[in-house]
Amino acid sequence: MTASSRPARPAILGPNQYGKAENRVVKITRDGATHHIKDLNVSVSLSGDMDEVHYFGSNANVLPTDTTKNTVYAFAKEYGIESAEQFGIHLARHFVTSQEPIKTARIRIEEYAWERIETSDAGSGSTGGADEARHSFVRKGQETRLTQITYDGETWEVISGLKDLVVMNSTNSEFWGYVKDKYTTLPEAYDRILATEVSGRWRFNWTGDEQKMPDWEKSYDQVRKHMLQAFAETYSLSLQQTLYQMGSRIIENRGEIDEVRFSLPNKHHFLVDLKPFGLENDTADGAVYFAADRPYGLIEATILRDGAEPRIPVDMTNL
Ligand SMILES: O=c1[nH]c(=O)c2[nH]c(=O)[nH]c2[nH]1
């Protein structure tokens, strides 16, 4: 910014961005009587030459947030929604390349999954086979899928992930051999429940080459599968160890990903003392637990491909 476009005041404008947050868009694709749903929550955030509007109220460089909302809906109709990532890339490219003052676009998308309700005669051929109506869905009560696309006209950054995926191992978890000081009361555990609500983000190494674009839908399904398999298959001596196994399984199996970050609350399950009622409560014998909701241990770490730089923010809850 030139000095003349800045007011003679000591207060200087710092980093800023604007856009329309949480555009809820549902796109139905019809394939005969079989319908498909994409249900997204899209947040647009733009930045660039925005000094004049902040200092003087000149809107000459301001594409209205209302227009960014309209673009989300129009793009959903005009181009469809193949995947959240592809949709975000399309939007980010549009804002940066069509508006000179806009230098960077960041598109954040949450995706809510729907599962088809199989009707009782579906597939039986009893009411006409291919014409069978397939338009009923139940919202999946599991995780929310996430993506964030950032484009500055040159560099692409795609970070995808998920939140609210609750998992539990009812055995094959221990925790012992830890530091003990005068405040330590935790009994060592040789067979405990390990449960967490996974919040994870993974960064793609895609650099914008259309020919080398990952298959975003397949990538998500595979990452989720590897992560869950690692959780289930790891004999755990700590949640930290399980976290590393989950991240490294993704890095080792998915070449399109260079960095994974997890935030894992340790959802503690405490053995209930049933001695007052004359009852033993032993893990080996099918025990009763108190599922505590707080406080919880919070285990967080980034796992990187050897040589890659950590870029997923340490505090990723806003992603
Ligand atoms: O897996 C665990 N990691 C810890 O660091 C920890 N600390 C604690 O009290 N319980 C556990 N469990």
Q: Mind listing the pLDDT tens digit for each residue in 291-319?
A: 999 999 999 999 999 999 999 999 987 77
Question: Which residue intervals of the chain are DSSP H helices?
Answer: 51-56, 65-79, 84-98, 216-233, 239-253
DSSP assignment, residue 101? T
**Cβ-based neighbour number of residue 152 at 10 Å:** 16
Longest dimension (CA), the chain: 83
According to the model, what pLDDT value does residue 73 have?
Answer: 96
Q: Where are the beta strands (DSSP E) in the chain?
A: 23-31, 34-48, 102-112, 114-116, 137-139, 144-151, 156-169, 194-204, 257-266, 269-271, 289-291, 297-304
Residue 269 confidence (pLDDT) = 92
pLDDT at 128: 44
Mean pLDDT, residues 125-146? 74
Residue 145 corresponds to which tokens in the numbers above?
A: 């899928």
pLDDT at site 130? 52
239 lines ligand 1 (CB under 6 A): yes
> How many whole angstroms separate alpha carbon 28 and alpha carbon 76?
10
Confidence of residue 126 (pLDDT cuts 50, 70, 90): very low
27 given a catalytic annotation: no
> Is 154:128 a contact under the CB 8 Å cutoff?
no
Distance 266 CA to ligand 1 centre (A): 8
CA distances 131 to 38, 86, 124, 135, 171, Å, are 22, 31, 12, 11, 47
Distances (CA, A) of 44 to 64, 69, 137, 154: 11, 8, 28, 18
pLDDT tens string 7-31: 888 899 999 999 999 999 999 899 9
User: Cβ(194)–Cβ(236) under 8 Å?
Assistant: yes
pLDDT digits (tens, 9 = 90+) for 207-243: 999 999 999 999 999 999 999 999 999 999 999 999 9
Q: Which residues lie below 8 Å from residue 29, measured CB to CB, with a gap of 6+?
A: 35, 36, 38, 80
Give the chain's mean pLDDT: 93
- Whether 264 is in the pocket of ligand 1, judged by its Cβ within 6 Å, is no
Residue 143 Cα to ligand 1 middle (Å): 24
Active-site position among 65, 67, 119, 283: 65
Q: Give, for ligand 1, the residue of 193, 239, 244 to mutate: max count of ligand atoms closer than 8 Å to Cβ.
A: 239
| Of the candidates 44, 45, 49, the residue with the CA atom closest to the CA atom of residue 101 | 49
Tens-digit pLDDT profile for residues 179-208: 999 999 999 999 999 999 999 999 999 999
68-92 confidence digits (pLDDT tens):
999 999 999 999 999 999 999 999 9
Residues 131 and 141: their CA atoms lie apart, in Å, by: 29
Q: What is the Cα–Cα distance from 88 to 116, expressed in whole angstroms?
A: 25
Nearest CA to ligand 1 atom 7: 297
pTM of whole model > 0.95?
no
Band the pLDDT of 264: cuts 50, 70, 90: very high
- Mean pLDDT in residue range 141-155: 95
pLDDT at 4: 53
